[in-house]
A = this chain, B = another copy of it.
Amino acid sequence: MKVTPWEVEGEVDYSKLVKDFGVSLINDRIKKRLDGTHPLLRRGIYFSHRDFDKWLDNHDKKMKVSVITGRGPSERMHLGHLVPFLVAKSLQDSFNCNVYIPISDDEKFYVKENLTFDDALEYSKDNILDLIALGFKPKRTFIFEDFVYTKMYKYAGMIAKRITYSTAKAAFGLKNESNIGWSFYPAMQAAHILFPQFNEGRHLSVVPIGIDQDPFIRLTRDIADHKDFNFEKPAALHAKFIPSLHGNPKMSSSKEGSIFLSDSKREVEDKIKKYAFSGGGSTIKEHKEKGGNPDIDVSYQYLRMFFEPNDNKLKKIYDDYKSGKLLTSEIKEILIVKLNKFLEEHQDKREEAKDKLREFMLKN
Protein backbone atom coordinates (compact mmCIF):
# COMPACT_ATOMS: atom_id res chain seq x y z
CA MET A 1 0.00 0.00 0.00
CA LYS A 2 1.23 3.49 -0.86
CA VAL A 3 -0.75 6.59 0.09
CA THR A 4 0.70 10.06 -0.50
CA PRO A 5 -0.98 13.28 -1.63
CA TRP A 6 -0.02 12.33 -5.20
CA GLU A 7 -0.39 8.58 -5.34
CA VAL A 8 -2.63 5.85 -4.05
CA GLU A 9 -1.43 2.35 -4.81
CA GLY A 10 -2.55 -1.11 -3.76
CA GLU A 11 -5.28 -2.17 -1.35
CA VAL A 12 -5.82 0.68 1.10
CA ASP A 13 -5.58 -0.43 4.75
CA TYR A 14 -7.36 2.36 6.59
CA SER A 15 -6.56 1.12 10.11
CA LYS A 16 -2.88 1.18 9.22
CA LEU A 17 -3.23 4.73 7.86
CA VAL A 18 -4.91 5.87 11.07
CA LYS A 19 -2.01 4.44 13.03
CA ASP A 20 0.71 5.73 10.68
CA PHE A 21 -0.74 9.25 10.54
CA GLY A 22 -1.51 9.39 14.26
CA VAL A 23 -5.13 10.39 13.74
CA SER A 24 -8.25 9.13 15.58
CA LEU A 25 -11.10 6.98 14.33
CA ILE A 26 -14.55 8.49 14.48
CA ASN A 27 -15.97 6.79 17.57
CA ASP A 28 -19.55 6.12 18.61
CA ARG A 29 -19.79 9.29 20.64
CA ILE A 30 -18.99 11.38 17.58
CA LYS A 31 -21.15 9.21 15.35
CA LYS A 32 -24.15 9.96 17.54
CA ARG A 33 -23.61 13.68 16.92
CA LEU A 34 -23.66 13.06 13.17
CA ASP A 35 -27.24 11.78 13.10
CA GLY A 36 -29.15 13.54 10.36
CA THR A 37 -26.05 14.69 8.51
CA HIS A 38 -25.06 13.80 4.96
CA PRO A 39 -24.58 10.05 4.27
CA LEU A 40 -20.88 10.73 3.63
CA LEU A 41 -20.56 11.69 7.30
CA ARG A 42 -22.99 9.41 9.06
CA ARG A 43 -22.19 6.30 7.03
CA GLY A 44 -18.50 6.32 7.80
CA ILE A 45 -17.03 7.46 4.48
CA TYR A 46 -15.48 10.12 6.69
CA PHE A 47 -13.88 7.70 9.08
CA SER A 48 -11.11 9.45 11.02
CA HIS A 49 -10.31 12.91 12.35
CA ARG A 50 -8.09 15.28 14.27
CA ASP A 51 -9.76 17.25 17.07
CA PHE A 52 -13.24 16.96 15.58
CA ASP A 53 -14.51 15.87 19.02
CA LYS A 54 -13.20 19.16 20.38
CA TRP A 55 -14.87 21.00 17.48
CA LEU A 56 -18.23 19.47 18.46
CA ASP A 57 -17.65 20.26 22.13
CA ASN A 58 -16.75 23.86 21.31
CA HIS A 59 -19.93 24.15 19.27
CA ASP A 60 -21.94 22.83 22.23
CA LYS A 61 -20.29 25.39 24.49
CA LYS A 62 -21.51 28.09 22.06
CA MET A 63 -17.94 28.82 21.01
CA LYS A 64 -17.33 29.84 17.42
CA VAL A 65 -16.50 26.97 15.03
CA SER A 66 -16.16 26.95 11.26
CA VAL A 67 -15.46 24.74 8.25
CA ILE A 68 -12.87 25.34 5.55
CA THR A 69 -12.42 23.32 2.41
CA GLY A 70 -10.92 24.42 -0.86
CA ARG A 71 -10.82 23.59 -4.51
CA GLY A 72 -8.10 23.60 -7.14
CA PRO A 73 -10.21 24.58 -10.13
CA SER A 74 -10.37 22.27 -13.14
CA GLU A 75 -12.07 22.45 -16.51
CA ARG A 76 -15.19 20.84 -15.07
CA MET A 77 -16.13 19.16 -11.82
CA HIS A 78 -17.09 15.55 -11.30
CA LEU A 79 -19.04 13.86 -8.55
CA GLY A 80 -15.95 13.00 -6.50
CA HIS A 81 -14.97 16.68 -6.35
CA LEU A 82 -18.21 17.43 -4.50
CA VAL A 83 -17.43 15.19 -1.53
CA PRO A 84 -15.87 17.72 0.90
CA PHE A 85 -18.38 20.38 -0.12
CA LEU A 86 -21.40 18.17 0.52
CA VAL A 87 -19.90 17.59 3.95
CA ALA A 88 -19.19 21.28 4.51
CA LYS A 89 -22.78 22.15 3.61
CA SER A 90 -24.11 19.43 5.88
CA LEU A 91 -22.01 20.73 8.80
CA GLN A 92 -23.24 24.25 8.06
CA ASP A 93 -26.85 23.04 8.13
CA SER A 94 -26.44 21.01 11.32
CA PHE A 95 -24.21 23.35 13.28
CA ASN A 96 -25.06 26.70 11.72
CA CYS A 97 -21.42 27.65 11.18
CA ASN A 98 -19.45 29.69 8.66
CA VAL A 99 -17.92 27.90 5.68
CA TYR A 100 -14.79 29.15 3.91
CA ILE A 101 -14.03 28.03 0.37
CA PRO A 102 -10.64 29.05 -1.06
CA ILE A 103 -10.25 28.51 -4.80
CA SER A 104 -6.58 27.89 -5.55
CA ASP A 105 -6.37 29.20 -9.10
CA ASP A 106 -2.70 29.90 -8.32
CA GLU A 107 -1.89 26.28 -7.44
CA LYS A 108 -3.37 24.94 -10.65
CA PHE A 109 -1.62 27.63 -12.67
CA TYR A 110 1.76 26.82 -11.08
CA VAL A 111 1.44 23.07 -11.30
CA LYS A 112 -0.11 22.61 -14.74
CA GLU A 113 2.52 23.54 -17.28
CA ASN A 114 0.07 24.19 -20.10
CA LEU A 115 -2.67 25.93 -18.15
CA THR A 116 -2.82 29.61 -19.08
CA PHE A 117 -3.51 32.29 -16.50
CA ASP A 118 -6.80 33.22 -18.18
CA ASP A 119 -7.96 29.61 -18.27
CA ALA A 120 -7.14 29.18 -14.58
CA LEU A 121 -9.42 32.15 -13.79
CA GLU A 122 -12.07 30.81 -16.17
CA TYR A 123 -12.12 27.39 -14.51
CA SER A 124 -12.49 29.08 -11.13
CA LYS A 125 -15.58 30.96 -12.28
CA ASP A 126 -17.02 27.74 -13.64
CA ASN A 127 -16.33 25.63 -10.55
CA ILE A 128 -17.62 28.31 -8.17
CA LEU A 129 -21.05 28.06 -9.80
CA ASP A 130 -21.13 24.33 -9.04
CA LEU A 131 -20.27 25.03 -5.43
CA ILE A 132 -22.86 27.75 -4.90
CA ALA A 133 -25.41 25.41 -6.53
CA LEU A 134 -25.03 23.06 -3.55
CA GLY A 135 -27.08 25.50 -1.47
CA PHE A 136 -24.61 27.10 0.93
CA LYS A 137 -25.97 29.95 3.07
CA PRO A 138 -25.05 33.33 1.56
CA LYS A 139 -24.10 35.24 4.69
CA ARG A 140 -22.25 32.33 6.23
CA THR A 141 -20.22 31.22 3.23
CA PHE A 142 -17.12 32.95 1.90
CA ILE A 143 -15.60 31.99 -1.41
CA PHE A 144 -12.37 33.55 -2.69
CA GLU A 145 -9.79 33.07 -5.44
CA ASP A 146 -6.12 33.65 -4.64
CA PHE A 147 -5.44 35.65 -7.81
CA VAL A 148 -8.50 37.85 -7.20
CA TYR A 149 -8.75 38.09 -3.42
CA THR A 150 -5.04 38.82 -3.38
CA LYS A 151 -5.14 39.94 0.25
CA MET A 152 -4.26 36.27 0.80
CA TYR A 153 -0.68 37.15 -0.18
CA LYS A 154 -0.32 38.99 3.11
CA TYR A 155 -1.38 35.97 5.15
CA ALA A 156 0.58 33.54 2.99
CA GLY A 157 3.63 35.78 3.40
CA MET A 158 3.35 35.70 7.18
CA ILE A 159 3.27 31.93 7.04
CA ALA A 160 5.93 31.58 4.33
CA LYS A 161 8.51 32.99 6.73
CA ARG A 162 7.92 29.94 8.96
CA ILE A 163 8.28 27.23 6.28
CA THR A 164 11.73 26.36 5.00
CA TYR A 165 12.25 25.22 1.44
CA SER A 166 13.31 21.79 2.77
CA THR A 167 10.02 21.35 4.62
CA ALA A 168 7.96 22.46 1.64
CA LYS A 169 9.99 20.22 -0.64
CA ALA A 170 9.33 17.18 1.51
CA ALA A 171 5.61 17.85 2.02
CA PHE A 172 4.84 18.84 -1.57
CA GLY A 173 7.37 16.83 -3.55
CA LEU A 174 9.06 19.91 -5.04
CA LYS A 175 11.93 19.53 -7.47
CA ASN A 176 14.72 21.92 -8.39
CA GLU A 177 13.12 22.42 -11.79
CA SER A 178 9.71 23.16 -10.26
CA ASN A 179 8.77 26.81 -10.55
CA ILE A 180 8.93 29.15 -7.56
CA GLY A 181 5.17 29.69 -7.54
CA TRP A 182 4.85 26.04 -6.69
CA SER A 183 7.43 26.31 -3.93
CA PHE A 184 5.48 29.22 -2.41
CA TYR A 185 2.13 27.43 -2.60
CA PRO A 186 2.52 25.45 0.67
CA ALA A 187 2.35 28.81 2.47
CA MET A 188 -0.77 29.80 0.54
CA GLN A 189 -2.43 26.50 1.35
CA ALA A 190 -1.66 26.89 5.05
CA ALA A 191 -3.05 30.44 4.80
CA HIS A 192 -6.27 28.98 3.39
CA ILE A 193 -6.59 26.57 6.28
CA LEU A 194 -5.91 29.32 8.81
CA PHE A 195 -7.93 31.98 7.01
CA PRO A 196 -11.06 31.51 9.17
CA GLN A 197 -8.90 32.54 12.12
CA PHE A 198 -7.18 35.39 10.26
CA ASN A 199 -10.67 36.59 9.36
CA GLU A 200 -12.62 36.03 12.58
CA GLY A 201 -9.96 35.58 15.25
CA ARG A 202 -8.83 32.46 17.05
CA HIS A 203 -11.32 29.58 16.90
CA LEU A 204 -11.50 25.94 15.88
CA SER A 205 -12.04 25.30 12.19
CA VAL A 206 -12.40 21.85 10.66
CA VAL A 207 -11.10 20.76 7.25
CA PRO A 208 -12.95 17.92 5.48
CA ILE A 209 -10.25 16.31 3.38
CA GLY A 210 -9.18 13.04 1.76
CA ILE A 211 -7.01 11.03 4.15
CA ASP A 212 -4.16 11.23 1.61
CA GLN A 213 -4.06 15.02 2.09
CA ASP A 214 -3.43 14.81 5.83
CA PRO A 215 0.29 15.74 5.53
CA PHE A 216 -0.83 19.27 4.57
CA ILE A 217 -2.95 19.46 7.72
CA ARG A 218 0.03 18.40 9.82
CA LEU A 219 2.20 21.09 8.24
CA THR A 220 -0.43 23.72 9.07
CA ARG A 221 -1.02 22.43 12.60
CA ASP A 222 2.72 22.79 13.22
CA ILE A 223 2.54 26.46 12.28
CA ALA A 224 -0.84 27.46 13.75
CA ASP A 225 0.29 28.02 17.32
CA HIS A 226 3.54 29.82 16.44
CA LYS A 227 3.70 32.99 18.51
CA ASP A 228 3.22 35.10 15.35
CA PHE A 229 -0.32 33.69 15.09
CA ASN A 230 -1.38 32.01 18.32
CA PHE A 231 -4.13 30.19 16.43
CA GLU A 232 -5.93 26.94 17.24
CA LYS A 233 -4.49 23.95 15.42
CA PRO A 234 -7.08 23.21 12.70
CA ALA A 235 -9.23 20.11 13.09
CA ALA A 236 -9.65 17.63 10.25
CA LEU A 237 -12.18 15.08 9.02
CA HIS A 238 -10.68 12.41 6.78
CA ALA A 239 -12.52 10.69 3.96
CA LYS A 240 -11.82 7.30 2.47
CA PHE A 241 -11.30 7.27 -1.26
CA ILE A 242 -14.38 7.52 -3.47
CA PRO A 243 -14.13 4.81 -6.12
CA SER A 244 -14.22 5.64 -9.82
CA LEU A 245 -16.94 4.10 -11.95
CA HIS A 246 -14.45 1.37 -12.80
CA GLY A 247 -14.00 0.65 -9.12
CA ASN A 248 -10.50 2.10 -8.89
CA PRO A 249 -9.76 3.41 -5.42
CA LYS A 250 -9.67 7.09 -6.37
CA MET A 251 -12.04 8.84 -8.77
CA SER A 252 -10.07 10.58 -11.49
CA SER A 253 -11.03 13.12 -14.12
CA SER A 254 -10.89 10.54 -16.92
CA LYS A 255 -13.81 10.88 -19.27
CA GLU A 256 -15.14 7.39 -18.77
CA GLY A 257 -14.39 6.83 -15.10
CA SER A 258 -16.28 9.82 -13.72
CA ILE A 259 -19.71 11.39 -13.72
CA PHE A 260 -19.31 15.06 -14.56
CA LEU A 261 -21.78 17.53 -13.11
CA SER A 262 -22.48 18.74 -16.62
CA ASP A 263 -23.25 15.26 -18.00
CA SER A 264 -26.55 14.79 -19.82
CA LYS A 265 -29.09 12.16 -18.81
CA ARG A 266 -28.04 10.09 -21.78
CA GLU A 267 -24.34 10.28 -20.91
CA VAL A 268 -25.04 9.22 -17.34
CA GLU A 269 -27.12 6.29 -18.47
CA ASP A 270 -24.47 5.18 -20.94
CA LYS A 271 -21.61 5.46 -18.48
CA ILE A 272 -23.34 3.62 -15.65
CA LYS A 273 -24.51 0.84 -17.93
CA LYS A 274 -21.16 0.47 -19.66
CA TYR A 275 -18.59 1.20 -16.99
CA ALA A 276 -20.01 1.00 -13.44
CA PHE A 277 -18.07 -1.83 -11.84
CA SER A 278 -20.48 -4.56 -10.83
CA GLY A 279 -20.41 -6.82 -7.78
CA GLY A 280 -22.99 -9.09 -9.40
CA GLY A 281 -22.73 -12.58 -10.84
CA SER A 282 -21.39 -12.96 -14.34
CA THR A 283 -24.74 -14.25 -15.62
CA ILE A 284 -28.29 -13.57 -14.43
CA LYS A 285 -28.57 -17.24 -13.53
CA GLU A 286 -25.42 -17.16 -11.42
CA HIS A 287 -26.47 -13.86 -9.80
CA LYS A 288 -29.86 -15.27 -8.80
CA GLU A 289 -28.21 -18.35 -7.37
CA LYS A 290 -25.19 -16.93 -5.56
CA GLY A 291 -26.22 -13.28 -5.10
CA GLY A 292 -24.09 -10.15 -5.62
CA ASN A 293 -21.49 -8.34 -3.53
CA PRO A 294 -22.73 -4.78 -2.75
CA ASP A 295 -19.50 -3.95 -0.90
CA ILE A 296 -17.57 -3.81 -4.17
CA ASP A 297 -20.48 -2.79 -6.40
CA VAL A 298 -19.96 0.80 -7.51
CA SER A 299 -23.67 1.47 -8.10
CA TYR A 300 -24.47 0.38 -4.58
CA GLN A 301 -21.58 2.42 -3.18
CA TYR A 302 -22.74 5.60 -4.94
CA LEU A 303 -26.25 5.04 -3.56
CA ARG A 304 -24.78 4.59 -0.10
CA MET A 305 -22.47 7.59 -0.30
CA PHE A 306 -24.63 10.07 -2.17
CA PHE A 307 -28.06 9.18 -3.43
CA GLU A 308 -30.11 7.05 -1.03
CA PRO A 309 -30.39 8.95 2.25
CA ASN A 310 -33.10 6.63 3.62
CA ASP A 311 -31.37 3.94 5.69
CA ASN A 312 -34.23 1.45 5.43
CA LYS A 313 -34.44 1.75 1.67
CA LEU A 314 -30.67 1.42 1.41
CA LYS A 315 -30.72 -1.70 3.59
CA LYS A 316 -33.37 -3.27 1.39
CA ILE A 317 -31.25 -2.59 -1.71
CA TYR A 318 -28.24 -4.09 0.07
CA ASP A 319 -30.11 -7.21 1.15
CA ASP A 320 -31.86 -7.75 -2.17
CA TYR A 321 -28.64 -7.32 -4.12
CA LYS A 322 -26.76 -9.64 -1.81
CA SER A 323 -29.45 -12.29 -2.03
CA GLY A 324 -29.55 -12.07 -5.81
CA LYS A 325 -33.14 -10.82 -5.90
CA LEU A 326 -32.04 -7.41 -7.25
CA LEU A 327 -30.19 -7.72 -10.56
CA THR A 328 -27.17 -5.67 -11.66
CA SER A 329 -29.24 -4.02 -14.39
CA GLU A 330 -31.84 -3.11 -11.78
CA ILE A 331 -29.47 -1.60 -9.22
CA LYS A 332 -27.86 0.36 -12.05
CA GLU A 333 -31.30 1.62 -13.06
CA ILE A 334 -31.97 2.80 -9.47
CA LEU A 335 -28.71 4.72 -9.52
CA ILE A 336 -29.32 6.19 -12.99
CA VAL A 337 -32.70 7.58 -11.98
CA LYS A 338 -31.44 9.09 -8.72
CA LEU A 339 -28.24 10.43 -10.22
CA ASN A 340 -30.08 12.05 -13.11
CA LYS A 341 -32.58 13.64 -10.76
CA PHE A 342 -29.68 15.04 -8.72
CA LEU A 343 -27.90 16.35 -11.81
CA GLU A 344 -31.04 17.90 -13.26
CA GLU A 345 -31.64 19.85 -10.07
CA HIS A 346 -27.96 20.68 -9.79
CA GLN A 347 -27.80 22.04 -13.31
CA ASP A 348 -30.85 24.24 -12.65
CA LYS A 349 -29.36 25.56 -9.41
CA ARG A 350 -26.08 26.19 -11.23
CA GLU A 351 -27.92 28.50 -13.61
CA GLU A 352 -29.48 30.34 -10.68
CA ALA A 353 -26.06 30.61 -9.03
CA LYS A 354 -24.93 32.99 -11.78
CA ASP A 355 -27.00 35.76 -10.19
CA LYS A 356 -25.80 34.97 -6.69
CA LEU A 357 -22.04 35.24 -7.18
CA ARG A 358 -21.81 38.60 -5.46
CA GLU A 359 -23.36 37.23 -2.26
CA PHE A 360 -20.56 34.72 -1.84
CA MET A 361 -17.32 36.16 -3.19
CA LEU A 362 -14.88 37.93 -0.87
CA LYS A 363 -13.54 41.25 -2.16
CA ASN A 364 -10.05 42.60 -1.67
> Known contacts A110-B160, A117-B158; is A180 also within 8 Å of B153 by CB?
no
Q: How far is the CA of A181 from the CA of B166 in the complex (A)?
A: 13
Q: Does A165 contact B (CB under 8 A)?
A: yes
Q: Does A164 contact B (CB under 8 A)?
A: yes
Q: How far is the CA of A183 from the CA of B182 in the complex (A)?
A: 10
Q: Does A364 contact B (CB under 8 A)?
A: yes
Residue of B at shortest CB range from A149? B150
Chain B residues with CB under 8 A of A180:
160, 163-165, 168, 183-184, 186-187
Q: How far is the CA of A22 from the CA of B277 in the complex (A)?
A: 65
- Identify the stretch in A39-47, A127-135, A171-179 within 8 Å (CB) of chain B at 4 or more residues: A171-179
Q: Which of A109, A160, A161 has the most CB of B within 10 A?
A: A161
Q: Does A13 contact B (CB under 8 A)?
A: no
Asked whether, in the complex, the Cβ of B152 is within 8 Å of the Cβ of A164, the reply is no
Asked whether, in the complex, the Cβ of B186 is within 8 Å of the Cβ of A184, the reply is no
> Known contacts A110-B160, A157-B110; is A165 also within 8 Å of B147 by CB?
no
* CB-contact partner of A177 in B151, B166, B179, under 8 A: B166
Kindly identify, within residues 105 to 152 of chain A, every residue whose CB is under 8 Å from any CB belonging to chain B: 106, 109-110, 116-117, 146-148, 150-152
Asked whether, in the complex, the Cβ of B161 is within 8 Å of the Cβ of A110, the reply is yes
Q: Does A162 contact B (CB under 8 A)?
A: yes
Q: Does A154 contact B (CB under 8 A)?
A: yes
Asked whether, in the complex, the Cβ of B165 is within 8 Å of the Cβ of A183, the reply is yes
Q: Does A228 contact B (CB under 8 A)?
A: yes
Contact-residue bracket for chain A: 35 or more
- How many whole Å from A176's CB to the nearest CB in chain B? 5
Asked whether, in the complex, the Cβ of A160 is within 8 Å of the Cβ of B147, the reply is no
- How many whole Å from A190's CB to the nearest CB in chain B? 10
Chain B residues with CB under 8 A of A164:
176-180
- How many whole Å from A188's CB to the nearest CB in chain B? 9
- How many whole Å from A339's CB to the nearest CB in chain B? 37
Q: Which of A106, A146, A168 has the most CB of B within 10 A?
A: A106
Asked whether, in the complex, the Cβ of A161 is within 8 Å of the Cβ of B364, the reply is no
Chain B residues with CB under 8 A of A178:
164-165
> Known contacts A163-B180, A165-B180, A174-B165; is A364 also within 8 Å of B157 by CB?
no
Asked whether, in the complex, the Cβ of B176 is within 8 Å of the Cβ of A181, the reply is no
Q: How far is the CA of A182 from the CA of B161 in the complex (A)?
A: 8
- 27 pairs, CB–CB < 8 Å, chain A vs chain B: A106-B153, A106-B157, A109-B157, A110-B160, A110-B161, A117-B158, A146-B153, A147-B153, A150-B150, A150-B151, A150-B152, A151-B364, A152-B153, A153-B153, A160-B179, A161-B181, A162-B179, A163-B180, A164-B179, A164-B180, A165-B176, A165-B178, A166-B176, A166-B177, A168-B180, A180-B184, A181-B184
11 new A-B pairs (CB below 8 Å) besides A160-B181, A180-B184? Answer: A109-B157, A109-B161, A117-B157, A147-B157, A150-B151, A152-B153, A160-B179, A163-B180, A165-B183, A166-B177, A184-B184
